[in-house]
Amino acid sequence: MSITPITDPNQENEPPILVPLDGGLIDAMVIPAYCLNCEKQLSHFFHYKGSRYGQVGEIVCNHCQSIIYCTDHDNIQHFIYMSPENYINPFINNTLERTPSKIDFNSLYMVNGEVMEKLRQTVASKSSTDHFKHQSRKMEIAELVDVSCKQLNIKSLPEEPIITDERLPHLPGKVNRWLNLLRLLNII
């Protein structure tokens, strides 16, 4: 199985969420899940470790006990499909009764070229060096928040939950810190 529950909240920050500094495709390894049967977000997050031929694995909804079949496009972990009906093949036209729930992590976690450019410009305007220029192509989201706060002399961030998708009102803590940074800087 390539997707496992994170049952200990202290381990929620361990799987990385790699943010492309150029606004490309995110590599999310800690994710929320959504059940189409009961239309609820599952109570805990999951360690998403990729797929084998597009099949990520199965998870059980902690609310209605339905099996949720998870698939992706077999490479970068920037989105996942969750379906209550067997595995789907994203490369062919499926004949499922219900459309699978697609979770796009670039949208959910607010990572795109425009956001990243605004952050880079904001940090550059307050600092004598372009810190992002010297970084690798991707940076862990928690590290990106810490580096940005340090460069901008931000001592603390609000802890307000920010909802970017009504299906998933609870996001991982480090994603919520990221979103609060973006809101504090008037980027979102």
Instruction: Note if the pTM is more than 0.85.
Output: yes
Contact yes or no for 86/71 (Cβ under 8 A): no
Element (H, E) at 9: none
39 neighbors 60 (Cβ within 8 angstroms): no
| DSSP calls for 23-65 | S---EE-EE--EETTTTEE-SSEEEE---BTTEEEEEE-TTT-
Distance CA 51, CA 131 (A): 34
The one-letter code for the residue type at 54 is: G
pLDDT digits (tens, 9 = 90+) for 5-60: 998 888 888 889 999 888 788 999 999 999 999 999 999 999 998 888 778 999 99
